[in-house]
């Protein structure tokens, strides 16, 4: 982090500028702890309150809004922000994050049984988990949108979402790491396919450090992406090839932040389009093997009302509260086919 954003416990003496926030996002040594994510979120929300009078509500999809930066940053516009999920107040975010951390501690102690505890049930019903995760990641994405060339930061924004999910899983006591594996191609001695796996998690402490190793039977492979746009086919193909090359079923899940993007609609540059290709998704589930879980922090409304999509797609909160514990159990791995 920059000197102005060392940690949540040691806030800066003076407010961070947008340049400070940009520097933090680009800092490859930063974001090793959840506190680093909290620090930049608080600084960004404070910056917005000081410099941007009000967000711009999309005229076409009014539950989404945008921030527009000043002349110094070319009047750049952020990505669409879901007003139902994005926490705008610094104080509200700080309080929500404290509750989030307390709940993660309960999950670590009680695992899936935490969902049945009285206080935890009230918290789960509030759906605040999705709000905290969404706000943190969309702050990072919004800082990325302020660069003169947003493409220079696009991969970094995605990498930081992957790291955020990994830190949350680790916080509840589940082993979780990224891994690169080299799978031999049957019938072609000396030839391998290299796979970079976003996450591999397990409750059995079976994480294999060497990149020449494969995947332990108690481990689950996770793909973490901002959006499914142009990526959904690869996820199904990865599961198919992992199963084929290793000769057994490999549990594979996907975690997405959202599936929306800004679009020009009529005279407005503040329209919102969906990037989720439901027909492609359903087609791959028929032609290939279903994924063992698909989770969104900001699901599209269609995912809740379409019967076939609803069977396979859940929100991130359900993954953290329930499915993570089922999937990571060596004794019980449900095949959600």
pLDDT at residue 206 tops 60: no
User: Which tokens hold the place of 264?
Assistant: 């020009």
Mean pLDDT of 319-327: 96
276-309 residue pLDDT tens: 999 999 999 999 989 999 999 999 999 999 999 9
123-177 residue pLDDT tens: 999 999 999 999 999 999 999 999 988 787 899 999 999 999 999 999 999 999 9
Which H helix or E strand runs over 96? helix 90-110
Neighbours of 176 (CB within 10 A): 23
CA-closest candidate to residue 169, choices 214, 216, 104, 99: 104
Contacts 24+ apart (CB under 8 A), 57-63: 57/83, 57/270, 58/268, 58/270, 58/271, 58/272, 59/265, 59/268, 59/270, 59/271, 60/265, 60/268, 60/270, 60/271, 60/272, 61/271, 61/272
Cross-sheet strand order for the sheet of 81-82: 56-57, 64-66, 81-82
pTM above 0.85, yes or no: yes
3-state SS assignment for residue 154: helix
Dihedrals phi, psi of 307, to nearest 5 degrees: -55, -50
Residue 250: pLDDT band with limits 50, 70, 90: very high
pLDDT at residue 335 tops 50: no
């Amino acid at each position: 982090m920059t000197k102005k954003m060392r940690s949540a416990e040691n806030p800066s003496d003076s407010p961070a500028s947008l340049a400070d926030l940009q520097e933090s996002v680009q800092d490859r040594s930063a974001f090793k702890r959840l506190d680093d994510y909290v620090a930049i979120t608080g600084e960004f929300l404070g910056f917005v309150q000081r410099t941007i009078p009000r967000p711009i509500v999309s005229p076409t999809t009014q539950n989404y809004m945008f921030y527009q930066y000043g002349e110094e940053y070319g009047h750049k516009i952020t990505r669409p922000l879901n007003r139902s999920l994005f926490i705008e107040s610094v104080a509200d975010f700080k309080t929500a994050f404290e509750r989030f951390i307390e709940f993660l501690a309960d999950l670590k102690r009680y695992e899936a049984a935490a969902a049945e505890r009285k206080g935890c049930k009230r918290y789960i019903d509030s759906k605040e988990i999705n709000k905290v995760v969404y706000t943190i990641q969309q702050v990072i994405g919004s800082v990325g949108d302020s660069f003169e060339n947003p493409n220079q930061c696009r991969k970094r924004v995605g990498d930081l979402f992957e790291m955020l999910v990994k830190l949350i899983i680790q916080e509840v006591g589940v082993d979780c790491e990224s891994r690169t594996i080299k799978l031999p191609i049957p019938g072609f001695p000396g030839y391998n396919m290299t796979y970079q796996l976003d996450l591999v998690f397990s409750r059995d402490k079976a994480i294999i450090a060497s990149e020449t190793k494969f995947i332990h039977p108690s481990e689950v492979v996770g793909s973490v992406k901002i959006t499914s746009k142009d990526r959904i086919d690869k996820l199904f193909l990865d599961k198919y090839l992992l199963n084929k090359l290793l000769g057994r079923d490999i549990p594979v899940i996907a975690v997405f932040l959202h599936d929306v993007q800004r679009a020009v609609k009529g005279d407005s540059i503040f329209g919102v389009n969906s990037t989720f290709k439901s027909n492609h998704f359903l087609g791959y589930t028929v032609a290939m093997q279903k994924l063992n879980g698909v989770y969104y922090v900001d699901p599209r409304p269609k995912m809740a009302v379409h019967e076939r999509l609803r069977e396979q797609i859940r929100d991130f909160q359900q993954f953290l509260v329930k499915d993570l514990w089922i999937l990571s159990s060596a004794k019980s791995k449900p095949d959600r086919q």
